[in-house]
Structure 1
């Protein structure tokens, strides 16, 4: 099933915000806050739609064009496709699509993001191959909040 088909299948009964990029960005941050994830985890601009189906836990974010963001705190670039989707729950984003991290010279697909132990202050990123890596969750707080 394509990402667009998946979004369409979860659209019914979902909370959807579209059009205003500022409203969409605000809603994406509120969603991250609701699931206890760092608010800078999805630093997307030019969002055209944000949706959340609370019943199924499915979330989608659509932006005008793909974006690469450099996280200084971990020294890594992360690429976000025009459509990013995931199933969310408390401190977890699973079956994530549209996100890749640059590891040395290759782009690695990220399919799972979780905070298993909030006390540790670590956030873990998993790949489809089962390899995972943890970083300080603080590296994904919003840039403005750090200043």
Structure 2
């Protein structure tokens, strides 16, 4: 059962269909709200909608997906429908997102970036448990859809000279 109704779609300030534009718009919205743009790395997005007056946003993808944030070594699972209310530096009433902790998948309910900026982002569960990580672990490189990583220079181990 979908949480997104036709009435919500009608009230939306913005709706988009198609994977490429939906990825772009979701990253743009996260950035505008002061959140890292790699927070919702969904695949095959069908629809994105945003109701500006209430901050309600939804993302619908073809099938659920799992993503591993390498910098923190954590896996996150995204349902076919992800909904939330967004406001500056905060996501509340989040649905459709679970993080793996040990052997359990734990539902996430709230995400916020510390203000003033400390470079930390906090994830809360419905029970009040939380984890804090560096914001840059969820920031995408500007050139593609991969998390930003430090550049690596490869130098030859030996230089061969002909005699």
Q: TM-score, normalization: structure 1?
A: 0.92
Q: How does 1:1-40 map to 2 (within 5 A)?
A: 4-14=2-12, 15-18=14-17, 20-40=18-38
Q: Is the 8 A contact 2:38 2:147 kept in 1?
A: no
Asked if the contact 1:38–1:138 (Cα under 8 Å) also holds between the matched residues in 2, the reply is: yes
The equivalent of 2:56 in structure 1 is 58
Describe the SS at the equivalent of 2:117: helix
| Cα distance in 2 between the residues matched to 1:108 and 1:27 | 27
Whether contact under 8 Å (1:109, 1:128) holds in the other structure is yes
**For residue 97 of structure 1, what is the aligned residue in structure 2?**
95
Deviation at 1:103, TM superposition (A): 0.2
Unmatched 5+ stretches in structure 1: none
Q: CA RMSD in A?
A: 1.4
Q: Which protein has the larger Cα radius of gyration, Structure 1 or Structure 2?
A: 2
3-state DSSP of counterpart to 2:71 = coil
How far off is 1:119 after superposition?
2.4
Aligned partners of 1:73, 1:144: CA distance in 2, in Å? 9
More helix as a share of residues:
1
Displacement of 1:10 in angstroms is 2.3
* Uncovered stretches (5+) of structure 2, i.e. residues with no partner: 141-145, 152-163
More contact order relative to length (CA 8 Å, sep ≥ 6): 1
**Is residue 85–residue 92 contact of structure 2 (8 Å, CA) maintained in 1?**
yes
Match of 1:84 among 74, 82, 85: 82
**Cα distance in 2, alignment partners of residues 144 and 124 from structure 1:** 18
Work out the CA distance in 2 between the residues paired with 1:61 and 1:139: 22
Residue correspondences, number = 144
**In structure 1, what is the equivalent of residue 44 of structure 2?**
46
